[in-house]
Amino acid sequence: MGPARCSGVGSGNSGAYTTEIAESLRFEEEIHSIVHPSLDSSPAAGGSFTALLGLPANQAVELLHETGPSEAPGSAAAPSPTGELWRLRLGEHAAGPLHLPLGCSPTFPSNAALVERAARFSVFAAEDSPALSSGGGPSPRLKAEPLDSDSPPLLPIPTEKTQRPAKRKECEKSKAKGPAKKSKSAEENTAAAAKETAAENTDGEKLPYVHVRARRGQATDSHSLAERARREKINARMKLLQELVPGCSKITGTALVLDEIINHVQSLQRQVEFLSMRLAAVNPRIDFGGLDSFLSAECGPLATANGRGGVALDPALWSSHPVTANGARWLPQPQIRHVDVWPTQQSSTAWTRDGPAHPHALLNPGASLVGYDPASSVLLNSNQLKTEL
Amino acid sequence: MLSRTHFIYISACVAAFSPSCLLSFSVAAMQVTEAFKHAFLKQMLLGFQASAVSTNSMGIQERKNAIKLSADVAMAVFRGSRKWTRGLIAGLSEKQQNRSFLQLILGEQYERRLMKPCYSSWKIPRCRTIVRRSLRVCCRRQKKKKNQSGVLARTLVEKRTQQLKRLVPGGESMDGLSLLDETLDYVLSLRAQVDLMQSLLTTVESSKLRSHSKRTLTERKASYVGK
């Protein structure tokens, strides 16, 4: 099986980096971002960090970062074959550091562990990249660290990490040349190793050809590799969306999940419409600049439209007020502002649906609301409105 | 839930408001952070103020539209520069009446964004020959291995994708991958918007109720005294 060359999805550079160096590059960057919070931590750094942790949740964090999503997060999510465990366990405290807006120094939970790991893996980086030499304290220390090829025992994080060191093992041998020998590849778990390489190297680092090991029994031409990378990315994002949309995690199949997503988006949009309608109804004269003026505005227009009767448009307003004979005096007044609603709005049909609940509501504007049951109608009303819209 | 004092604080800060604050989302918690919410709300209030100049004469429909407009613009401005935000603003600016409002809110950013390609009405230019050729290649490849169930699934997914493209603003000119990205973002923003508007509504209503109850009390007292 010859070496599969993937010219790095998105990276078009040629150089002499190996995959290991690429990863150590990222480690360096992360450490720099910790040590020098003033540096503009590129999304690549964060993206690769998430890649290392293999947490799709964090990938989305990077995805949504202000500086603009690069391909890194999406691709970083691709190599999460058995990431479920890690997502759950490390989700919380990995989400923590990446919460912060750029510019703040992220507080990595396992800083020491990271640095140690970086030390192990960045030996090659030190000797190679000039970009790395801009590092601070860590880099000389990293240089001094002995190269430990048997990295699995060092790694606290299993699954993905074991694959990477195994890959590094093979890259050690080749030293910036082609991929390792076939024997090595046979031993190691090649499940997602190749994909990780291909995927991770899409952050805007200067990387040359990425030497990808294809999976067992799969084609190795560049088209299908790119296809596979694309599909992996799409699957990762679908997974994220599944988590986001409630009730979607049990569904299998892209079409059904997309259905759910579409329904969710539509319902959210409808909710926005509904809420804006309610806001419009509640306070026609509200001056959002300040509540004081808002309160005074309430009392202001009442004198102008005293003659008209009105009906409570929004039962929520009156929910805590029992309608009594005394109360009826002030009830018509606040209702007045809603009067102009009736002739103009076309959504009055929505209100007609509530006919049975509000027998007096629409037909007799001047009628009293004595027979009005606020509590039940609130619920009924809002439900009906929701379905209407 | 916003307290009243919080509201007043926000209104005081509205003047010193700057639209270019940093945001941070957290998908792990599937919620937007508090900072984002505050900023969003500020922007929304500002938008309400700007559009509230003529609320006195507006009917409820126009009010609703104005509120929705400012809420959407707030959401778009706050999320920063994403494909869907650009598409949203582009879609909104197509209507003449919104333009002045948008200009007010966005300031110089608006002109800049207008200069960028308008995503919602911009189709990816494709040369016909190239498309035909690539289709031929695809067909030839498919002839070798025709997967019936796969085709069916693919058409279903295609349909859904088209629908999603119509839903997400600016979605027509996105490919499948970025579409999912933008949908994710958009859903989060929508959720934040809904939450904010909900809390705003409850705050306003509760304060109104309080004021009404106070007034009722005084009126009842007055009526008692009168009697």
How many residues are given for chain B? 227
CA–CA gap between residue A114 and residue A90 (Å, rounded):
14
Rounded mean pLDDT, A336-349: 40
Predicted local confidence at residue A266, as pLDDT? 93
Predicted local confidence at residue B207, as pLDDT? 82
How confident is the model over A144-176, as pLDDT tens digits?
A: 444 444 444 444 444 444 444 444 544 444 444
CA–CA gap between residue A194 and residue A210 (Å, rounded):
9
Q: What residues form DSSP beta bridges with B26?
A: B31
Residues A202/A233, Cβ–Cβ less than 8 Å: no
Are A345 and B219 within 8 A, CB to CB? no
Q: Calculate the alpha carbon distances from A175 to A105, A124, A211, A352 in Å.
A: 34, 9, 12, 77
Q: Best-predicted range by mean pLDDT among A88-97, A380-389, B99-108?
A: B99-108
* Residue from A53, A243, A279, A385 whose CB has the most chain B CBs within 10 Å, to mutate: A279
Residues B79/B193, Cβ–Cβ less than 8 Å: no
Higher model confidence: residue A201 or residue A276? A276
Q: Best-predicted range by mean pLDDT among A52-61, A257-266, A295-304, B128-137?
A: A257-266
Predicted local confidence at residue A101, as pLDDT? 43
Chain B positions in Cβ-Cβ contact with residue A286 (cut-off 8 Å): 48, 52, 55, 204
Over 60: is that where the pLDDT of A112 sits?
Answer: no
Predicted local confidence at residue A268, as pLDDT? 92
To the nearest whole Å, the CA of B210 is away from the closest chain A CA by: 10
Q: Best-predicted range by mean pLDDT among A107-111, A375-379, B4-8, B66-70?
A: B66-70
Higher model confidence: residue B59 or residue A107? B59
- CA-based nearest residue in chain A for residue B155: A255
CA–CA gap between residue A299 and residue A291 (Å, rounded):
13
Mean pLDDT of chain A: 52
Over 80: is that where the pLDDT of A225 sits?
Answer: yes
How many residues are given for chain A? 389
Confidence grade of residue A88 (pLDDT, cut at 50, 70, 90): very low
Residues A377/A363, Cβ–Cβ less than 8 Å: no
- CA-based nearest residue in chain A for residue B13: A289
CA–CA gap between residue A63 and residue B187 (Å, rounded):
14
Q: Best-predicted range by mean pLDDT among A67-76, A131-140, A200-209, B180-189?
A: B180-189
Predicted local confidence at residue A269, as pLDDT? 92
- Helix A43-53 / helix A56-63 crossing angle, nearest 10 deg: 170
Rounded mean pLDDT, A108-132: 50
Are B194 and A241 within 8 A, CB to CB? no
Rounded mean pLDDT, A138-143: 44
- CA-based nearest residue in chain B for residue A75: B177
Query: Which value does ipTM take for this structure?
Result: 0.72
Q: How many CB atoms lie within 10 A of CB A96?
A: 15
Chain A positions in Cβ-Cβ contact with residue B7 (cut-off 8 Å): 291
Predicted local confidence at residue A372, as pLDDT? 40
All residue ranges of chain B with pLDDT < 50 are 1-29, 53, 118-120
User: Is residue B144 helix, strand or coil?
Assistant: helix
Rounded mean pLDDT, A14-27: 52
Q: How many CB atoms lie within 10 A of CB A46?
A: 30
Chain B positions in Cβ-Cβ contact with residue A294 (cut-off 8 Å): 204, 207
**Partner-chain residue, chosen from B64, B157, B184, that has the shortest CB–CB distance to A244:** B184
Are B24 and A101 within 8 A, CB to CB? yes
Predicted local confidence at residue A284, as pLDDT? 57
